[in-house]
Chains A and B, each alone.
Chain A
C-alpha cells in the first residue's frame, strides 16, 4: 500500500513537471479526530480490527468468490489494508478471468470486472486475447448510449492500457465520447444513466466522473480544457448538494425515492469520491473544493466504524484509500488520535497503569495519523485553548504547543496548570504543517474540539446521620458513617421527627465538588421506593427528611425503610453506592382518602411455577361390625324359627285334615305351590338380581323391538340409553346437565300405537324362545 502511494506520488510529480507546474492548489484533509479520554465525536482511523473484520467478511466459499466483482472487492480491500494472510485465490480466479476475457459472449461489465481482478492478480493473459477484446470494446464505446455502457467499456480499455503498457491504445474520438458522456449530466451536477431515463442520480455522477477520467487518460491528444472546466463546475455543483450530519460528517445521498439495493449514502458517497479522485488525477488545475467537505467525507467514512457488509466494507476502505492516495486535487485526511497517558498525581507518577486508579488522570497524549492509520507528515499540534465546560469564557490553558515523542509518534502536553481540577474540559487543538509543500497536498481541519474528562478521587468526609426532634431540633440519635466502607445503622423515628443525612465532598485540589448524582433512596419492605436529591451548600451536602410533611408521600406505610445513598459523577473515580442501614418508621394510620401505594411489579419467578398438588379426600366407608358378630346374630335370628318348629312338633301337629279327594288335593297343592313360588321369587330376587336386570335389558336390546324406550340426545342423533337405564339408574344425569337435556332424556320416541303392541308381542315371543342360560 505504501509502495502504491509512493508510486502515485512519483507519477504525480512527473506529471507536474511535464505540464501543470505549480498550478495545483491542493489540500491536506486533516481530520483531527482526537479521542482523548472522551471526545464528543470520535473518528478512529482504520486499525487492526478492520483487518480481522476484512478476513471475516471476505471469505471465499470453496476457494473462490461468487462473482468477479466480489473477487475484485475482496482483493482490493486486502491490498489497501496490506493483508498478507489473505486466502490464496490466484489459480482458481485466474482461470475464471481468462475464461471471461476469452469468451466472446462476455458483456463489457464482465470484461471490466475480469480486468480489474487481473490488475491486482496479474494473471498470465495472452496478448492476443487483449487484441480481440480491444476491438470489441472500441466498437462498444462508439455504439454506447447509456452511462454504464460507457463506463464499462472505457474502463476496460483503460485497464488494458495499464496492464499491457500499450502506449498506442487510444480512443479515436475522445472528445466526442467526452461530449456524449457530458451530455447526460444535469444542471445540479448529477448524471442520468441514459438519455431516455429522466431520473438523475448522484451515484451516476461518480461513475460518469470515473469514465470521463478514463477518457482523458485514453485521449490521443489533450482534451479541450474548457470541457474539463465545465466538468469541474459540475463537481462543485455536486458538492453543493452534499448533506451533513451533526457531528461534522458530510455525505452524498440519492434524492430519488425508490432507492435500489446497495445505494445508501455510503455507496453514493463512495462512488462520488472514486470518481472525484479519478478525475482530479487526470485533470489539471485547481478544483477549489472546500476543505471541510473533504474532511467531512473522510469523517463520514470513518464514522461508519466497521461495516458488516462486504460491499459496504469495500466502499469504505476504497474511498478512504482514494482520499489518502490522492495527493493532487484534494487530500487525504490525517486524523489526530490521542490516547490517555499518565497521571499528574503527586504521590504516584505511574505510566501505563489502568487509568481509573490514579487520583487525577489527565489525557494528554495526542496521536496523529492518516485515515488509513499511516504516519502523518511532520507537523506541530497546538493546543489553542482549553476551558471548562461549565465556564466557557475562562481558559485554563492558552496557545501551547505539544511536545513530540518521536519514539511513540505521539504529541503530548508536558504539564497541566494547577488550576485544572476534576471536571469536564474542552480542549481545542490545531494542526500546523511544517512543510509548506504539504499544505498544498493535505487538508487539515480548522480547529478540533475535544471534550476531556479529568477524573480523580473525591474525598468524602464528615458523614453522619441524625434523627432530630421536630420541635426543638434537639438530636435524638446520631451516628457517624464511613461511606466508603460498610455501614449498618439501625434507627427508629416517628412522624414527628426528622432524619438528617450530611456529608462533605472535596476534590483532589481541595475545592467543593458537586456530583451529578447524589440520591438518597428509601425503600420500604413492600419495595415502594422514594428517591430524594441531596443538595449542597459549598462542600457540605445535607438532606433533612421531615416525616410530618412526608407521610402522604410515604403512603402512610409504617415499618422498615432501607436507606441507600448513591453519589456518582463522570469525573469521580470513587462513585459510591452505599447501603447505610435502615430506619424503622412509625407513621400514623392512613386516612380513608389517602393515596394508595402504586402496584409493584410482581417477581416473574414467583408468578409462574407449579401449583401445590390437590388430592381428593374420599368419603370414609361406613363402619361395620366384625363378620363374626353378624354371623352370630344371623344364627341367633334362626333360633325363633327353630323354636317354632320344635314347638309344632311338641304340640304334635298333623296334616290329617288334608283333603283326600282328587280335585281338592289338586287345588290345595296348587295353592301352596303358589305361595311357595311367591316366596321363592323373593329369594331368587335376592340371590340373582342380575337375571332380572338382564331380562329387561334384553327386552331393550332386542333389535326387532325398534326404539323401545330408547332415549336420545337433544339432536336425536346419539343414543344415550334406554328408558330402563334411566329408570334403573338413580340419578344418571347430574345437575351439570341442562334441564332441557334431562327432559329429552325422559322423552320417549313416539310410535303408532298399533306398532307398539306388535312390538311387545314379538318381544315376548322371542324371549320365550331364548335359552334361559343366555339371560345370565
Chain B
C-alpha cells in the first residue's frame, strides 16, 4: 500500500469515476418481485405487499439525497468502540441537531451493509474506527470506495492504531498516512501548553486553508488541538486539499525512540486534515486524529507554547462543525439552471446565429444552504464561446440574485460553437455546462448593397446599356 501510495499511481482516478446517479430503483425492485410469482393470487399478494412497502418506503425515499436536495440525510457512523459515542458526543450531537439521521454501528457488526437491492441506505459514512482490520458484514475496501464513487460522502479519522484497511482507504482517496505505524506528529515549537501532556504530541495548528466555503465565513480564531498521525497529500491528485497543515517545525516520528533516519514527513508538508472534492461531487475528509473530534479537545482551552494568548476554548468545535457542514453538502454545493441566449433585442432562443450577431447570454447559479437554494454571488463566473478553443471568454456580471449575464458579438468565424460554463472554485462543487449552437456566414442577400465605391461600375454598365439601346435604334432607322 505504502509503496504504491508514495509512487503516486492512480489514486485520483478512483474517486472520480462516473457521474452521480441518484435514480431511485424502487420500480425495478418491484418488477423483479412480481416476476417471481406466477399465480394470480400470489400476484395480488405481491401487489399488496408492494403497496405497503411503497407506502412505508416513501418517507425514507423522500428524505434521501437528491440533486434537488443535495444535503445528506442519513449518516452511518462506524465505531470500533461504542464509548466513542459518548466521548465524541458534542460532534455527533451537532450533526444530529442539524437534522441528520445518524446511525451508529460497530465497525465489525456482522449485519453491516451500505446498500440493499442496489440502493444505498446512507448518504454519508463516518469512519471513526481506526483500528478496524476488516469491516463486518459485506462491507470492505471496495465497498467504501464504491460508496464514494457513487457520489456519497466520507469522513475518515485515524489515530496511532490506524489499520491497513483504514490506511488503504485513505491512500485511495489521495492521502498517504505515515508508513511508520508508531510515528505521531510531534512539534516542539507549536504545542499546546498543558498540565498533563509533556511530550509535545498534543500540538496546535492554525494554518487553515483560506476558504470561506470550506470553513465557514466566521474565522476560526482559536487554534485547533491535534493529537494523532501525519499524512501527506498525493501530489498527483489534484482534487485533494490540505485544510489544516502542521507548522514548519513539526515532524512525524515515534516520540519514545531515537530517530535513526530522517522522518518521512516533516514541516508544513504534513497535512493534519485534508479534504477531497471529487468530480462527482462526493466529498471526503481525512484526518489522522480521532481525538480532534473528542469532547475533551472540543471543550479544552488552548494556549500555544510561547504565546501569551490563552483561549478558553479551542477552535476544534468550530473547525470540525464547519468542516462537517461542508462535507455533508450544507455549503458550497452549486447548481446552474436556465442557461439562455438570444439576439440582442429578441427574447427567443434562435436555432442558429449569423456571424457578427450581437447576442445576450445568461445563466442562473444557486448555492444550496442546507435548506434551500440561495442565489450564488460571485464575480468570477465566466462563459466561453467555444469551438476547438475558446473564441470568446468573458466574465459574467451578476444581478446579485443568482442571474449571471453578459453580451458579446458572435465572432466572424462560422462553425458549430458551444456556450461553455466551466466553474471550478476552491471548495465548491464544479459546474460544467455546455450548449451547442451553430453559427452561419452571411447569406448572399445579407451583404451590404448600393456601395458608393461600386457606382462607377454600375454607371459604366447602365450607360453602356442605355448607349446600346439608343445605338440599336439609331443604327436601324437612320437614313
Q: Do A and B bind each other?
A: yes
| Given known A38-B198, A304-B86, contact A600–B235 (CB-CB < 8 A) | yes
A648 touches B251 (CB 8 A): no
The residue in chain A whose Cβ has the minimal distance to the Cβ of B439 is A734
A138 within 8 A of B: no
| Given known A648-B474, A682-B465, contact A599–B412 (CB-CB < 8 A) | no
Q: In the complex, A142 Cα to B465 Cα: how many Å?
A: 133
The stretch that binds B, out of A67-75, A271-279, A376-384, A529-537, is A529-537
Complex contacts, B296 vs chain A, CB 8 Å: 305-306
| Given known A453-B198, A616-B392, contact A729–B470 (CB-CB < 8 A) | no
Q: In the complex, A686 Cα to B380 Cα: how many Å?
A: 51
A529 touches B89 (CB 8 A): no
Interface residues of B in 48-78 (CB under 8 A from A): none
The stretch that binds B, out of A227-235, A473-481, A601-609, is A601-609
A679 within 8 A of B: yes
Q: In the complex, A610 Cα to B426 Cα: how many Å?
A: 11
Complex contacts, B336 vs chain A, CB 8 Å: none
A686 touches B394 (CB 8 A): no
| Given known A516-B258, A601-B233, A608-B425, contact A638–B463 (CB-CB < 8 A) | yes
B259 touches A38 (CB 8 A): no
CB proximity of A207 to chain B, nearest CB, Å? 20
A768 within 8 A of B: no
A259, A531, A569: the one within 8 Å of B266 (CB): A531
Point out which of B83, B261, B426 has the most chain A C-beta atoms below 10 A from its C-beta: B83
Q: In the complex, A736 Cα to B453 Cα: how many Å?
A: 35
CB proximity of A677 to chain B, nearest CB, Å? 11
B411 touches A616 (CB 8 A): yes
The residue in chain A whose Cβ has the minimal distance to the Cβ of B210 is A605
A53, A564, A608, A631: the one within 8 Å of B426 (CB): A608
The residue in chain B whose Cβ has the minimal distance to the Cβ of A532 is B262
Complex contacts, A653 vs chain B, CB 8 Å: 474, 478
A519 within 8 A of B: yes
Q: In the complex, A305 Cα to B89 Cα: how many Å?
A: 12
The residue in chain B whose Cβ has the minimal distance to the Cβ of A732 is B440
Point out which of A306, A564, A598 has the most chain B C-beta atoms below 10 A from its C-beta: A306
CB proximity of B118 to chain A, nearest CB, Å? 26
Q: In the complex, A577 Cα to B236 Cα: how many Å?
A: 30
Q: Beta-carbon contacts of A578-616 to B below 8 Å, as 1s and 0s?
A: 000000000000000000001111101101111111111
Q: In the complex, A340 Cα to B469 Cα: how many Å?
A: 124
B266, B299, B449, B451: the one within 8 Å of A53 (CB): B299
A572 touches B188 (CB 8 A): yes
Complex contacts, A519 vs chain B, CB 8 Å: 251, 262-263, 266
Q: In the complex, A37 Cα to B193 Cα: how many Å?
A: 10
Complex contacts, B445 vs chain A, CB 8 Å: 689-690, 693, 728
Q: Beta-carbon contacts of B438-466 to A below 8 Å, as 1s and 0s?
A: 11111111000101111110111111111
The stretch that binds B, out of A85-93, A114-122, A482-490, A639-647, is A639-647
A655 within 8 A of B: yes
B41 within 8 A of A: no
Complex contacts, B233 vs chain A, CB 8 Å: 601
The residue in chain B whose Cβ has the minimal distance to the Cβ of A566 is B249
Point out which of A307, A577, A648, A654 has the most chain B C-beta atoms below 10 A from its C-beta: A577
The residue in chain A whose Cβ has the minimal distance to the Cβ of B427 is A608
A143 within 8 A of B: no
The stretch that binds B, out of A148-156, A159-167, A619-627, is A619-627
CB proximity of B196 to chain A, nearest CB, Å? 5
A662 within 8 A of B: no
Q: In the complex, A35 Cα to B89 Cα: how many Å?
A: 25
A517 touches B186 (CB 8 A): yes
CB proximity of B214 to chain A, nearest CB, Å? 10
The residue in chain A whose Cβ has the minimal distance to the Cβ of B444 is A730
A308, A516, A618, A619: the one within 8 Å of B93 (CB): A308
Complex contacts, A624 vs chain B, CB 8 Å: 451, 453
B473 within 8 A of A: yes
A424, A516, A608: the one within 8 Å of B253 (CB): A516
CB proximity of B293 to chain A, nearest CB, Å? 11
Complex contacts, B465 vs chain A, CB 8 Å: 679, 682-683
Q: In the complex, A496 Cα to B195 Cα: how many Å?
A: 51
| Given known A638-B463, A641-B463, contact A517–B188 (CB-CB < 8 A) | yes
Complex contacts, B460 vs chain A, CB 8 Å: 637
B138 within 8 A of A: no
A521 within 8 A of B: yes
B42 within 8 A of A: no
Complex contacts, B260 vs chain A, CB 8 Å: 533
Complex contacts, B476 vs chain A, CB 8 Å: 657, 668
A730 touches B382 (CB 8 A): no
B86 touches A531 (CB 8 A): no
B416 within 8 A of A: yes
The residue in chain A whose Cβ has the minimal distance to the Cβ of B464 is A641
Complex contacts, A416 vs chain B, CB 8 Å: none
CB proximity of B460 to chain A, nearest CB, Å? 5
Q: In the complex, A616 Cα to B359 Cα: how many Å?
A: 14
A42, A265, A609, A616: the one within 8 Å of B196 (CB): A42
A634 within 8 A of B: yes
Q: Beta-carbon contacts of B8-20 to A below 8 Å, as 1s and 0s?
A: 1000000000000
CB proximity of A722 to chain B, nearest CB, Å? 13
Q: In the complex, A773 Cα to B263 Cα: how many Å?
A: 92
B40 within 8 A of A: no
B425 touches A259 (CB 8 A): no
Count, chain B residues at interface, CB 8 A: 110
CB proximity of A640 to chain B, nearest CB, Å? 7
B199 within 8 A of A: yes
CB proximity of A402 to chain B, nearest CB, Å? 19
B199 touches A38 (CB 8 A): yes
CB proximity of B241 to chain A, nearest CB, Å? 5
Complex contacts, A42 vs chain B, CB 8 Å: 196
A508 within 8 A of B: no
B414 touches A734 (CB 8 A): yes
Q: In the complex, A601 Cα to B274 Cα: how many Å?
A: 13
Complex contacts, A572 vs chain B, CB 8 Å: 188
B331 within 8 A of A: no
A264 touches B295 (CB 8 A): no
B90, B199, B269: the one within 8 Å of A308 (CB): B90
CB proximity of B101 to chain A, nearest CB, Å? 15
Complex contacts, B43 vs chain A, CB 8 Å: none
Point out which of A452, A604, A615, A648 has the most chain B C-beta atoms below 10 A from its C-beta: A604
B251 touches A610 (CB 8 A): no
B255 within 8 A of A: yes
Q: In the complex, A642 Cα to B425 Cα: how many Å?
A: 75
The residue in chain A whose Cβ has the minimal distance to the Cβ of B428 is A608
Complex contacts, B414 vs chain A, CB 8 Å: 731, 734
Complex contacts, A264 vs chain B, CB 8 Å: 82-83, 85-86
B393 within 8 A of A: yes
A735 touches B415 (CB 8 A): yes
B116 within 8 A of A: no
B137 within 8 A of A: no
Complex contacts, B474 vs chain A, CB 8 Å: 648, 653, 655
B200 within 8 A of A: yes
The residue in chain B whose Cβ has the minimal distance to the Cβ of A52 is B299
A616 touches B409 (CB 8 A): yes
Q: In the complex, A613 Cα to B193 Cα: how many Å?
A: 51
B199 touches A614 (CB 8 A): no
CB proximity of A386 to chain B, nearest CB, Å? 15
A761 within 8 A of B: no
CB proximity of A88 to chain B, nearest CB, Å? 25
The residue in chain A whose Cβ has the minimal distance to the Cβ of B298 is A308
Can you list 11 residue pairs at the A/B interface with Cβ under 8 Å? A37-B196, A312-B86, A516-B186, A516-B259, A521-B266, A599-B235, A609-B380, A630-B455, A641-B463, A731-B441, A734-B438
Interchain residue pairs A-B with the least CB separation, the first 4: A308-B89, A568-B188, A38-B198, A736-B416
Other A-B pairs beyond A568-B187, A618-B356, A737-B416, 14, CB < 8 Å: A259-B82, A306-B295, A307-B295, A566-B249, A568-B189, A570-B255, A610-B395, A644-B470, A654-B478, A672-B473, A683-B462, A730-B442, A731-B414, A736-B415
